[in-house]
Chain A
Amino acid sequence: MTDLARGTQLFHFAAAFGAGGLLTLMVLCNGTLAAHGSLFFASWVPHLTGSGVALFLLIILRPKRATPIRPPLWAYLGGISGGVTVMLTSATMNTALALSGTIALGLAGQVVFSLFADVRGLFGLPKRLPKQRDYLSLALILAGSSILIFLGGDA
């Protein structure tokens, strides 16, 4: 690996790690909304303000389209999947699974899907075969997450 490629990878890794930090803040905000209003409200408001902010940024920044070819229509439907997620998690959070079980099983589902998506190159994204190192890394991250979820809280 060249130094340049190595630097790029580090940047990508740092960006993804930072995005995880943003997710924590987002969950804190939306969870606080849900504590005062309904679960629908806690999902509806961020989608409303998010649409407005994204539209505003699109108008100001005018990012170039990567290709002149129109993407398939289904590529616009990622938001529906996200909307269903909110309802599922709010449904399971209040069962015996509790928040910790919901989060842990959700992480497992996410990881299984992402591995499968990479192997098959799902939805027209590049195919890539996970290496042994990746499985080890995933196992460590999931183990660490489980420790935090089940043992790190107010036990």
Chain B
Amino acid sequence: MMIYAALAVLAGLLVGLSRQINGRLALSTSALESSFWNHFVGLFFITCIALAVGGLFAGSPGNAPWWAYLGGPIGVVFIAAGSWLIPRIGAAHTAMLIIAGQMISGVLLDIIFKAPGSTSARVIGILCILVGVWVARSPTKRGKKG
């Protein structure tokens, strides 16, 4: 159990690591180019692993709805946005605002799809996150630098 918990934390660390490295590439090139290399190198890597392990086309991927194939193009914008933001607002702000946006949009999606869930937990959770985002803004007081 502990080993799986450690692996889950490691997965999170790697998300941060990849954003940091992509951000460094964007500093020298551009956010879009950084996003391209992220996808291209990742594609090469996954292809190698999938060829070694096998089972890439297992199951019935043909049955997936057409819109399920839009994850790639969305990812291009997502990675480019992260690479563009991280040198500008820092890794911590980038990470926490992405998390905030992901959590709140996830709840909205659940509501749209009428997924069952506790309304009070959703309201309290979203309020906590929104207050957190509000706290992160730089103070407006004169003389203080953000």
Q: Which residues of A contact B (CB under 8 A)?
A: 1, 5-6, 9-10, 12-13, 15-26, 28-30, 32-33, 35-38, 40-41, 43-55, 57-58, 61, 63-67, 69-72, 74-89, 91-92, 95-97, 101-102, 105-115, 117-118, 122-126, 128, 130, 133-134, 136-148, 151-155
Contacts and interface: CB of A to CB of B under 8 A. Distances in A.
A124 B78 contact: no
Interface string B135-146: 111111000111
B23 to A, nearest CB: 6
Counting contact residues on chain B (CB < 8 A from A), the size range is 35 or more
Contacts of B58: 37-38, 41
Interface string B23-51: 11111111111111111111111110110
Given A20-B99, A37-B59, A88-B7, A81 B30 contact: no
Contact of B89 (A13, A21, A52, A145): A13
A24 to B, nearest CB: 4
Nearest to A49: B72
Contact of B47 (A36, A44, A124): A44
